[in-house]
Structure formats: C-alpha cells, structure tokens
Amino acid sequence: MVAAVVLAAMAVPAISWADEGGVSFWIPGTYGSLAAVPPPPGWSLTIVNEYYATMAGGDVAAARQMTIGKLNPAVMVSLNANYRSVLDTVSINPTYAFATPIFGGTLELGATASVAATTVGINGTLTAAAGSIVAERQGTISSSTFGVGDVQPMAQFYWNGGVNNWTAYLTGNVPVGTYNSSNLANIGIGHGAIDGGAGYTYFDSKSGREFSFVTGLTYNLINPSTDYQNGIDWHLDWGLSQALSKQIAIGAVGYVYNQLTGDGGAGDHVGPFESRVFGIGPQIGFTFGAGSLEAYLNLKGYWEFDATHRPSGWNAWVTLSLSPSAAAPDKPLVVK
C-alpha cells in the first residue's frame, strides 16, 4: 500500500481580530491524505515538524498590543504597521489501535504533546486620539518564546468497506502549555476546547488513486486569564494523491477554516467578529521499511489566501509515521 498528511481587539470597528490573539485551537492542515484509512492494530508513533510564517497589517498589530495591555480600548487608535510571526513546532503523537472491533470499526486512542519556539514582532507608527489630544509613536515591539505546547487527547473510530473508508473523532485542548496573557509571543492558547468531526477517504490500491476530507467543529471554553471566549469554528481539511510506485505518491492538500459565531466574554472589547482563511499546496509521500516497522514520510506545504481578521502566510509540514504493519497513513494530529 502507498500512503500519500496569531492574535482581542479594539473598540474601533475597523480594528478587529477574531479568535483571541488570532490563534485558534484547530490548526488548519491537521489532516491530509488517507485520513480515514484504519490504522494497523497496536502502537504507532507520529512525529511532526511544523513551520509557520505569517504576517498582517495595522489592525492585527493594534489588536495584539491591546491584548497584552499596551493600548487602552477606550482610545481611538490607528496603526500603520507590519505584524510578523514565526512558529516552529515539533510534536509527538503516540497512538494505540485496538485489534478487537468496537461498534464495527477500529478504535484508536492517543495524545499529542509538543515543544515550540515562536517570535512575534510589530513595527510601525501608532497614532492615538483621546478627545482633542493626539499622540504619535514609532517603534518596534518584539518577543520570543520557547516552551511546551498544550496537550491534546484524541479518540478516533475508523470503518472500512472496500475502497470506501469513514472516520469520526473527538479531541480537545488541555491548557498546560507555556502561556502568559501579557506576552506578545505564546506557545499555549490559554484555554480549553472541544473539537469533533468526521471524514471520508476513497482509496483504490490498484490504481493508486486517493481522495480524503475531514470536517469538524470547535467549541472554545473561556480564557480565565482574559475573560475572552472564541466563537465556534468550522474547519475542512482535504488531500488527494496518485501513487507513482509502491514507495512514492504525489498530490495536493488544502483547507478551509471559518469562524461561524463571533467572539464574546467580558474581555472581548471588539464585538462578535469572525475569522476565515483558505490554504492550498503540494504534497509528496514516501513509504519504506524501518526494521520491523513500516515508515511513512510526508512533506506538504500550504499557501494561505483570502484571510479575514487573522494573520496569514505559508506553512510547511514534515511528518514521519511509524507503524507495526502495512503502510502508515497521514496520522490525524492536533498540535499547537
């Protein structure tokens, strides 16, 4: 078988940023090709390196400064600035798939932990007005952080019927990662979340053709440090691939992320703004032996477009999956 897998805002309506800090629990691109193909029984291990580079304009930069207490929400502000961020994450996802069928399918349990380094910078000119008083400030604010990410437990069911495969999953966020609401750069997101969804994979091993999609919803708990609560998020990840040989497959990946309901809570000074982003890019996968295990290496990248109230840019993923038997598909990861 061949396997083909930042930032609460202003009181001024023009300055807005949905999902607190522009960071959602769900990372678009988490799922990819063969997402619904049942895993082999026993323990598997997936290691992922994710690299994100994003940027945004003055609205995002001003909103982030308000979040960390640099700006007063009662003051009218305009900001001619650039916001840039880089996030480099390494995550580990051990899973166990039960050999005995449950509800007619395969149950897999696991959890994801990670370490990451991030740098965030804001550079530009700030103009603030309070009544007849106008003040202007130029300069740069930057912050770098290295630490551990939040932990995401996961339970997932898989069903197979010939070339058709289905999956349903439930995951969430345990906010134990490196986080300080007054920091410009953070690793954790500072609040809990629950996410569930379902997906489908068409995979014909004879022709080597494959198509997968997974869709789900995120309900975010309130952030106790800021009294801010993100709205409900909808996400769709997809992948398609064509096998060139028993070891190599190429294809494309993409995602849609859209916030369905606005943010809220006592700490939300902007109102019910909603975020959105699209991403698309190429992928290539390699299957090879690793002693008594089978290994799968996947490289994929996304270019983001049509972003609203959210930083955007590009991201790249390197995924290594090790399983006890036939091909390890793109493992479903929930990493921050």
pTM: 0.83
**DSSP codes joined into one string, 25-53:** SS-TTS--TTTTSPPPSEEEEEEEEEEEE
Please report the pLDDT score of residue 334 as a whole number.
37
pLDDT digits (tens, 9 = 90+) for 226-283: 888 889 999 999 999 999 998 999 999 999 999 998 877 776 555 566 789 999 999 9
Please report the pLDDT score of residue 142 as a whole number.
79
Domain 20-323 in CATH 2.60.40? The answer is no
pLDDT digits (tens, 9 = 90+) for 18-33: 466 667 899 999 999 9
Distance from C-alpha of 190 to C-alpha of 3, rounded to nearest angstrom: 35
pLDDT digits (tens, 9 = 90+) for 34-93: 999 999 999 999 999 999 998 766 555 555 555 555 445 545 455 566 778 899 999 999
Name the pLDDT band for 332 (thresholds 50, 70, 90). Answer: very low
Please report the pLDDT score of residue 264 as a whole number.
78
The residue that leads in pLDDT, 137 or 301, is 301
Q: Buried b / exposed e across 273-308, counting CB within 10 Å, b at 16+?
A: bbbbbbbebebebbbeeeeeebbbebebbbebeebe
Instruction: Compute how many other C-beta atoms are within 10 angstroms of the C-beta atom of residue 130.
Output: 12
Backbone angles phi, psi at 179, to 5 degrees: -155, 135
- In contact, 195 and 216? CB cutoff 8 Å: yes
Integer angstrom CA distances of residue 127 from 51, 139, 174, 228, 254:
33, 12, 39, 26, 39
Rounded average pLDDT over 85-107: 96
Instruction: Compute how many other C-beta atoms are within 10 angstroms of the C-beta atom of residue 101.
Output: 10
